[in-house]
Chains A and B, each alone.
Chain A
């Protein structure tokens, strides 16, 4: 059902927890299903230096948070803003249609955090 990347991130989530000294934090919830992602960033010199996340919800939500932190670390704010749901789904190795909402929540959380920076 899920890709190797998916199960790897599920068993070994990257960059978890709160980020001390974060200067951009967003905590978004899917009001329909209750899934939640909290993203903390340290942004300096127009670049995401560090990212950590917390997540509550179905496995795709947990994995999307983990993959997202890897995708955005080291990226400029503009590059991060251009990141789409499809980019995230591709990086995970695909998601079933009924689970695409997890990627949407992750991208919404990223955009909310980036709005705090700007």
Chain B
């Protein structure tokens, strides 16, 4: 990446030598990103991140398919970048079916099958959830879409937001049968501000960024060469080190959850215990609110996240946790803990220690404990 900022500084669209060096660097990175998901190099479109990839996929396919239908099937636990685009399209006349999840945080294939209509043009279902890590039945969804297509629904497409999954689990676009797949580089230790959309050969998108020939006319704008190079390298490392990273993260995550159960009472572990990503743990701490706990942990140098946040007196408990069918109070007390390759068992010990202190302090302060 350093070389791309200094030596390989050319514009990949330029025909001079400096430009062609940059083009070669971008092409190498594109091969690595394609290899991560079993795609061909020319099926990868670099974007500014997962959000843009999701926007390009959903808007792009829906706007290109208006002659064939205006119905989208998605789930209630999608990332805001998918949810937001579907909401906008709904306001513009598309119909959106949002599939429920159940206590385990996983969509049921029967619900998807029942939701498909003759005018459905897009199924967009995330590979794995960003808050609770649950892995969705994307293989089955892809199979269902392929079946319908074979039966004559030629303009039905399948998009999966694999931002959380790519680099964390084995992802193969042909095995899943998706037409579009979103990725983000910073989920695999590359810089923020770079992502990619896999677009299966033959799938036509309505282009969102126009005014240049970059990315095979699918996304205009000079390429962010240093970030793309870093993404390529991160994708290579994620592919090569996937098994050991998964083993490392899941060992720490399981240790953490065991220690939390032993140390802290009245906790709810959110989402399926088995079908989930190895590095995420989502826990609700009863009687306290997630943001209060988050800031308390932050003061001790521990960075976590919560899906609930209040502003202007309007609290929206995480839609993902609410979709599990839990109470507002449980949804408000949810915290997501993420583990990465550089974390250690000592980190787990420290987090459990400061977490139990913070939970104890906040519960001592909570009027919700009075009634119990």
Chain A contacts to B: CB under 8 angstroms:
2, 7, 10-11, 13, 16-18, 27, 30, 32-38, 54-59, 62, 65, 97-99, 101, 104
Question: Are the CB atoms of A98 and B366 closer together than 8 Å?
Answer: no
Contact of B364 among A17, A37, A57 (CB under 8 A): A17
B150 proximal to A (CB < 8 A): no
B47 proximal to A (CB < 8 A): no
Contact of A16 among B289, B292, B314, B364 (CB under 8 A): B364
Chain A residues, CB < 8 A from B296: 10-11
- The total of chain B residues at the interface (CB under 8 A) is 26
Question: Are the CB atoms of B364 and A55 closer together than 8 Å?
Answer: no
Chain B residues, CB < 8 A from A62: 292, 362, 365
Give CA–CA (A58, B289) in the complex, Å.
6
Q: A10-B295, A34-B332 are in contact. Are A55 and B313 (CB under 8 A)?
A: no
Chain B 330-372 interface residues, beta-carbon cutoff 8 Å to A: 332, 361-362, 364-368, 370
Question: Are the CB atoms of B299 and A7 closer together than 8 Å?
Answer: yes
Chain A residues, CB < 8 A from B292: 10, 57-59, 62
Min CB gap A54→B, angstroms:
4
Chain A residues, CB < 8 A from B310: 33, 35, 57-58, 98-99
Question: Are the CB atoms of A58 and B365 closer together than 8 Å?
Answer: no
Chain B residues, CB < 8 A from A98: 310-312
Question: Are the CB atoms of B366 and A54 closer together than 8 Å?
Answer: yes
Chain A residues, CB < 8 A from B367: 27, 36-38, 54-56
Question: Are the CB atoms of A56 and B366 closer together than 8 Å?
Answer: yes
Min CB gap B299→A, angstroms:
6
Chain A residues, CB < 8 A from B291: 58-59
